[in-house]
Amino acid sequence: MYKLNKINQSILLVIWGIGYATLSSAQETVTEQTNPVQQPIAISPSAESNEAETVPLLSSVIVTGSRTRENRTVASSPTPIDVISNDNIKQANQRNLLEALNNTLPSFNVPTLPGYGINSTVKAGQLRGLNSSHTLVLVNGKRRHSTARLGAGGFTASAPVDLGLIPTGSIERIEVLRDGAAAIYGSDAIAGVINIITKKDDHGGEVSAKYGGYTEGDGTLQQYIAGAGFKLGDEGHVYISAQYDKQGAAFRDSPVPGHIQYYFPIDANGNEVAPGGSPSFGPTLPPGATPNPKEAGVDRNNTVFGASGGVPESELASLTVDLSYPLSDKTELYAFASYADRETRSPQHFRFPSRDIVVRALWPDGFTPYTGVDEEDYSLQLGVKGTDLAGWDWDFSTVYGADNIDAYQYSSNSPSFGLDSKKDFYTGSYKYNSWVNNFDLKRSFEQGLLGWLTDVSLGAEYRREGYKRTAGELQSWAYGPDVDPEKFANGEYGYVLDGPNKGTLISISDAGSQADTGIRPEDTADDSRNSYALYAGLSVYPTEKLIIDTGLRFEDYSDFGDIVTGRVSSRYDFTPKIALRGTVSTGFQAPALAAQGYKATGVTVSETNRTLAVNSAAAQALGAESLKPEESKNYSLGFVFRPLRNLNIALDAYQIDVKDRISALSTIRASNLETDAQKAAFSSFVQSVDPSFGPNDGIDYFINAGKTKTKGLDLTIEYLLSTDRYGSFLFTAAGNWNKTELVSRAATPAALTAFGFSSDLTYNASSIANLEYLSPRFKGIVGLNWHLEKWSAGLTATRFGEIRRSTSVNVDGVSTPKVFNAGNLWLVDAQVGYKFTDQLSLTLNGNNIFDQKPRKLPANTVSGPGLLWPFQSYSYLNNSPINAAGSFYSAALNYKW
């Protein structure tokens, strides 16, 4: 897709170097690598083997969910935790970690958005049906920085961690805590915590190469991974991992109907005339005209609109280093560094050559504009930890992370600049950084509270965040006549240069690059904030059967003030086979720093829309108030049952109440008011607030909009069957039932109702639908993995239950709401593997082997999710749980030593 830059070349060089060193010294370095975490796909039982007393994943030691004891397992945890091994990630056969989690966890959902714009690159998922930013992401137990893109993945006002940038080759395992944990880890841990544990081997390594594609011949994926561990001194280690992914595009747009005209029709006198219908969305043949002869050369099966979703093309190169080194017999230095460079291109809607926003001298056949992203993401963890500091274990760490996004618009034009228009534009940048410092203490007392075994933890945290948004280049946002009035007077700028409408003034609404305009200078931002935290944890063990965990945390933010959260979690084992567990906690999510100062100007064909910074004077005059944190109350109750030695069942019910959820106020404008007097009064007031505002500009801002209640049920079942003759069989089944409802809405600010605006503008129908119906009501995953000597195989089936989507259909010229079920889908994945030697293996994977596609939108759809434009024969739903690309197959060759 792109010429590799120097960074990508360096990554490939590291991969090549590790691979070469591997092959050249294989006979000397082959050892049996020992992994402390048992992984189900790696099970290789024989007649002589001693099987574990528990299912492998449930016997995994975990470090997430407590700052005290570190010898808990999945099976003995007082909170529900999933462990996903590196082999599980490989079996998912997805192009990045985000998609792998979606393929592995029933409680995790990644909505499929339109395959265009920045949000097709910076995607996000939701745990237990909540916002993407309600899940905290840790790397080796340390907070990961978030994306610089506000609204990533379509979640308004959210800035989650971009899991798509974390290389899968560096991961040993992932621990997913499905419970509120803000009292332990701080902001964002409302729905749960994802803790990524990186590889820490001091010897051995692996190299792998994967190639795959969709059955229609597009969307090819190349992935190369190399990693190796080395000793650092006698007891230290350094593990280096490099990865390079190249993803081709795959889109499933429908053919353009034959009645749609690309070029200007011809009238009876042989002159070009304007098309009928909508020149933007459905140009047709007007009465008395004939098609332009150029129509004969149009390929109606190859016009990209991007509306049906799909997979954008991208390149990702990444490098990670994990190390530790003992400074003494009681002190250890540790570090983890990651770097990722990503470039993407995604198509926007095709611009017909008959549209006057096309500079036809530059694009005689129209054009498909592409949104481009050039992103750099890096993080550095550095820490020292030790034991016996007056009897306490201690850990001091500092983590700096940053995400920098440069945005571009390619293969486009800025129509008001005429022949001087560029084709490629820099549209601005988004930059976020975070610096987190922690000091932790912990200690166990054999005769602690009330004489019970007691674990105590204490800690402090300082965090500083920074956010910047910079302007795009001039032509990406400006209006030509304003830039050069002389060229406007000469007819060079601001006018249609040719065609039936030659000499017509180009609307100021068409200023800037098509389709994404640049960030305007007045919409830039440079914000920062500090926060401080003190926290403590207390775990007691009154008996061998009872565990009680408690946590308390105080945080103070420079932009909104302080907050206290708490947590009590407990587990009681009635017998070795039956246990009850539960948690009650409070939590919070600080408003994203980008949301605090976010402002934007959007210009459409007929109107200008402005998002005002919530703390600006203009927004405050229109009723805005400083954003408060979203606060939660979490309740969960679980039942753990082990009826057989290798059968484990866990059932967890939960309720999550979140108040002060942040959303955008429904757009207000003078024309929405009922009477002329109201319209005139509001227009006058708006222009008095800011003279640059138009009298009918649309205005919105972020607001603490309402309260939601989420109820759900998680079920996990794991069963291991081992035989001498037929190998081992690991059966897993997991399901999530989840329902979110809007309990109450905040009132429209009094400053707006005074002008006559409705009292319920805090949530509109679209935002309510996103809250309540974006995730499936039910998602279940059933898997069977088999292993016998050199052979292995896996089969996974995923069920998506009811998914409600709303749209509108045209009935006799009237737009009528319609709700339909986009769910009830099955996806089946399969895998077959063969080990040629103990080191060399081949794996064949198939995803969505029955070629399932999203639901098509109902006929006569005129608006709503997955908008069906008149120039399409049909349209797949945009925000389905699956994309429209269909079946994907790949082969991976892996060498370990």
How many Cβ atoms from other residues are within 10 Å of residue 212's Cβ? Answer: 21
Q: Are the C-beta atoms of residues 63 and 110 closer than 8 Å to each other?
A: no
Q: How many domains does the chain have?
A: 1
Residue 607 lies in a domain: no
Residue 579 is inside which H or E element, if any?
Answer: strand 578-589
- Answer whether residue 289 shows pLDDT above 90: yes
Q: What percent of the chain has pLDDT over 90?
A: 69
The 8-class DSSP code of residue 297 comes to: G
Give the integer Cα–Cα distance in Å for 615 and 612: 8
Going by C-alpha positions, the residue among 740, 806, 830 that lies closest to residue 777 is: 740
What single-letter DSSP state applies at residue 806?
E
Residues facing residue 895 across a β-bridge: 207, 840
For the segment 862-871, the average pLDDT, to the nearest whole number, is: 52
Any idea what the Cα angle at residue 259 is, between residues 257 and 260, rounded to 5°? 75
Q: What are the tens digits of pLDDT across the range 421-446?
A: 999 999 999 999 999 999 999 999 99
Q: Among 54-68, 221-235, 503-517, 692-706, which stretch is predicted with the lowest mean pLDDT?
A: 54-68
pLDDT at 35: 34
Whether 317 contacts 8, CB under 8 Å: yes
What average pLDDT does the chain have?
A: 88
Does pLDDT of 39 surpass 60? Answer: no
Give yes or no for a contact between 308 and 871, defined as CB atoms under 8 angstroms apart: no
Label residue 762 exposed, middle or buried (CB < 10 Å: 0-12, 13-18, 19+): buried
Non-local (6+) Cβ contacts of 477 within 8 A are 427, 471, 511, 512, 513, 517, 518, 519, 520
Domain extent, residue 214, equals 6-267+314-591+628-660+704-896
**Burial grade of 81 (CB within 10 A; 0-12, 13-18, 19 or more):** buried
Chain CA centroid to CA 482, Å: 39
Q: Tell me, what's the pLDDT at 626? A: 93
Provide the pLDDT for residue 609.
85
Query: Is residue 305 situated within a structural domain?
Result: no
Domain contains 82: yes
On the question of pLDDT at 44 being above 60, the answer is no
Residue 1 lies in a domain: no
Q: Which of 116-125, 718-727, 742-751, 847-856 has the lowest mean pLDDT?
A: 116-125
CATH number at residue 376: 2.40.170.20
Structural tokens at position 549: 């965990």
The rounded Cα 466 to chain-centroid distance in angstroms is 21
Task: Give the pairing type, strands 313-326 and 331-347.
Answer: antiparallel
How far is the C-alpha of 305 from the C-alpha of 142, rounded, in Å?
Answer: 41
Q: For residues 796 and 168, what is the distance between their CA atoms, to the nearest angstrom? A: 20
Please give the share of the chain, as a percent, with pLDDT higher than 70: 89
In a domain, 623, yes or no: no
Q: Which amino acid is at 290?
A: T
In this structure, are strands 135-139 and 192-198 parallel, antiparallel, or unpaired? parallel
pLDDT in tens, 519-554: 999 999 999 999 999 999 999 999 999 999 999 999
The secondary structure of residue 163, as a DSSP letter, is G
Q: Looking at residue 603, what is its pLDDT?
A: 66
Q: What is the pLDDT of residue 870?
A: 67
For residue 678, being part of any structural domain is answered with: no
CA-nearest of 59, 12, 54 to 35 is 59
Confidence of residue 59 (pLDDT cuts 50, 70, 90): low
Comparing 303 with 649, which gets the higher pLDDT? 649
For residue 670, being part of any structural domain is answered with no
Number of C-beta neighbours around residue 842 at 10 A: 13
What is d(CA 888, CA 212) in angstroms, rounded to the nearest whole number?
7
pLDDT at residue 264 greater than cutoff 90: yes
Query: What integer pLDDT is reported at residue 783 of this predicted model?
Result: 95
Go through 44-78 and write b for each residue having 16 or more CB atoms within 10 A of its CB, e for each that does not.
Answer: ebeeeeeebebbbbbbbebbbbbbbbeebebbbbb
The closest alpha carbon to 705, from 744, 750, 667, 741, belongs to 744
Q: Quick check: is 699 in a domain?
A: no
Is a pLDDT exceeding 80 seen at residue 591?
A: yes
